[in-house]
Amino acid sequence: MIDLKTSIVRVFILIILIVFNSSLIECQYDSIKDIVVWPTSQGGNGHGYKLVQAYSISMATTQCATFTSSTFKSYLETLGSKQEWDFIFNSNSKNFATASNRIWVFGYCPFEPGEPSLTSREINIYIRGIPWNLNNAKGYNDPVQQAICEFQPISEVYIPSIGTNGGEITISNLTLFNLETFYISFFNPSKLLSKSCQITSKQISSVTCIVSPLTGFQNVIIQDASGINSTHFAWQPPFIKAVYPSFKENGFITLIGENLINRDKLFNTTIENNGTVTLSSSTTTTKNETNGIVNFTTGIQFIREIDQDFLIVQTISMNKVDWKQMNETIFIGSIYNRTTLLYINVYQFENTNISLFAGEELQVSPNSIKFKIKIQDWEWSSPMNTLQIIFHSKSDKLEFDKCGRKKVQSLVSPGDQILWTRVLVGRLLLNLTILENDPLFKQIDNQGFNLFTTFNIPRFRKSVELDPAFNALIVGDEMLDKSQCDRECEWSFENWKIIVILLNKSFQNLNRRVGMLVIPFPSNQSFDKKKNRQHQQENINNDDINMNPVQTKISEKD
C-alpha cells in the first residue's frame, strides 16, 4: 500500500506541475498579437503560431525571426507531427477556406514518409489551395503570399529521438537547471503511468540517462529541487521533436532522420561522418547451422571524372571532403576551393518499403541501406567527359569450401528495376578485374568480400541525383551440390553459398531518367584457376556499357 500511495502522490504532483507549467508557457507570448497557442492541456507543445504576409521564402524566414525575444525564439513553422498540422489547420480554417490560391510556407514535414518527398534539394514545403496538399518548394524563393511563424521558449529543453524499446538518451540545453538535483520522468497521461530516466552521466549543460521501454504519447517532465521545470507534451517515440531550425543559419531546417522510419524496427546502424553505413543483420542459413551474420559496410568511396579514352582526369576521395552532419541521416559535403556540393541522405529499412524518387515509386528490399545522393555544380574539365560515382561495399563474412575457395557467386535477378550486381572476390576477382594501376586496386581486401559499384553519368549542367539501395543476404548450403565439390574442385564456382549485395538503382539528370546498364554474369559460367592475371587483362573491354571502364569481364572457359 505504501508503494501504491507513493505512486499516486507522484502522479498527482506531476499533473499539478503540468498544469502550472502550461500556464507559464502560454502566457509568455502575450506581447505578440494574433498568435494562436497550441495548449499543453490538449496535448500540445505550448508553442505559438502566427500568420504573416510574405512574398518569398527568404522573406518569410527573415520576418519570422524578427519576433524573437529574450524569452522565446521565432522561426518559420516546422511541422513535427500530424497532430501539430491538424491543430494549425483547424485554427486557421477560415483563412484557408477564403484563399484557395494562396501558398503558405513551412519547414520540413516528416510525419508521413514521402509526403512531401524529403529531398536534399528542397528545404521548405508549402500548401496550396483545396484540398491543401503538402508540396515541396521547388526553389528557394518560390512566390508565396503568407507564411506561418512558430514561437518556442528559449528555455525549452532539447530531447532527441529514441525508439519505443528505450535506451540511452542525451538531453541538452539544461543551463537553467541544477544538475545536482536534476530529475527526469516520462509520464503517460492516458494510463497515468510514470517512469524515471536513470541518469548515467552529467555534462556542463546536458545529462545522459537510460529510458525504459515506452508506448503511446508521453509527457517528459524535467525538474530540479529549486522548482525550475520543463515539460514536453505529446512526446511519442520515435516521433519526438521531428525537426529543429538552426537559428545561426537564418532559419535553415534540419531533420532528425529516424523520424522518417520506425527506428525501433531497424537493425543496429552506425553512420559515420563520411556517409558510410555499417549494417548488421541476422539471418538463418540452414536448419543445421546457427544464425549467420552478414556484416558489410557500403558507401561512396570516390567521385572521379574520366575522358573519352577512359583516362582518369580528376578524383575526389570522400575522406578529403569537408562533411557537415545535419543529423544522423543527412550529410552535406564541400570540397576545398571548389563550388561543388555533395548531399547524401542515408536510410535503413528492415522490411520492404516504397521510396519516392523523381516522381516514381520504387520498392526497397528488406534489410536495405538506402542512399539519396545529389552532386551540384561539378567543375568539369571537358564537356565530353563522364563522371563516375563509385561505391565500395565490403564484408568479412565469408566461408570456404573443401578446396579452400570462397563460397561466393554472382547472380542477375529478373526484372528491369532490381539487379544483382557483380561480386569481386578471390584470387581472380571472379568475373571482373581491376587494373593494378587503378586506385581502386589498393582498396581490395583479398581476405574478405569486395564489391565496387560504379554509376557512369554523362555531363550535366547544374546537378544530378542518384537513388541506390544496397542489400545483403545469405543463402544456405542446401544450394551447394556436395557430391560435385571434390570433382569440380579445380574448375567450377557453380552452386556456391551466396553472399550478395542487391542494388536497386536510379538517378535523375535534368528531369530525365537515365538507366544504368549491367552486363549479366551467366549462371553456369566457370573458369580455369590456372588462367593468370595477364590473360585476364588481355581481355579488357572498355566498352562504355560496362559498369566501370577500368573493370573487365573474365573470359569463359571453352
Q: What is the pLDDT of residue 243?
A: 26
Domains in the chain and their CATH numbers? 2-153 (3.10.100.10), 167-187+194-221 (no CATH), 266-531 (no CATH)
- Please enumerate in sequence order all residues whose Cβ is within 8 A of that of 179, keeping only pairs 6 or more positions apart, or say none: 202, 207, 224
How far, in Å, CA of 37 to CA of 151, rounded?
Answer: 9
At 536, which helix (H) or strand (E)? helix 533-537
| Each residue's pLDDT tens digit, 109-146 | 444 433 443 343 445 566 655 444 555 554 444 556 77
The yes-or-no verdict on residue 377 having pLDDT over 60 is: yes
The yes-or-no verdict on residue 273 having pLDDT over 70 is: no
Question: Which of 28-42, 158-172, 240-254: highest mean pLDDT?
Answer: 28-42
How many other CB atoms sit within 10 Å of the CB of residue 372?
23
Are the C-beta atoms of 188 and 216 separated by less than 8 Å? yes
Q: What is the pLDDT of residue 276?
A: 47
Q: What is the pLDDT of residue 419?
A: 30
The letter for the amino acid at 525 is Q
In 138-182 the beta strands, taken as DSSP E runs, fall at 146-153, 167-171
Place of cell 502566457: 27
For the chain, first and last CA: distance in Å?
85
Question: 395 falls in which pLDDT band (50, 70, 90)?
Answer: low
The yes-or-no verdict on residue 337 having pLDDT over 70 is: yes
Are the C-beta atoms of 143 and 57 separated by less than 8 Å? no
Going by C-alpha positions, the residue among 219, 218, 228, 220 that lies closest to residue 180 is: 228
Averaged pLDDT, 374-397: 78
Distances (CA, A) of 273 to 162, 163, 270, 319, 497: 20, 22, 10, 9, 33
Are the C-beta atoms of 275 and 330 separated by less than 8 Å? no
At 257, which helix (H) or strand (E)? none
The yes-or-no verdict on residue 499 having pLDDT over 70 is: no
Strand pairing class (103-106; 146-153): parallel
Place of cell 513551412: 106
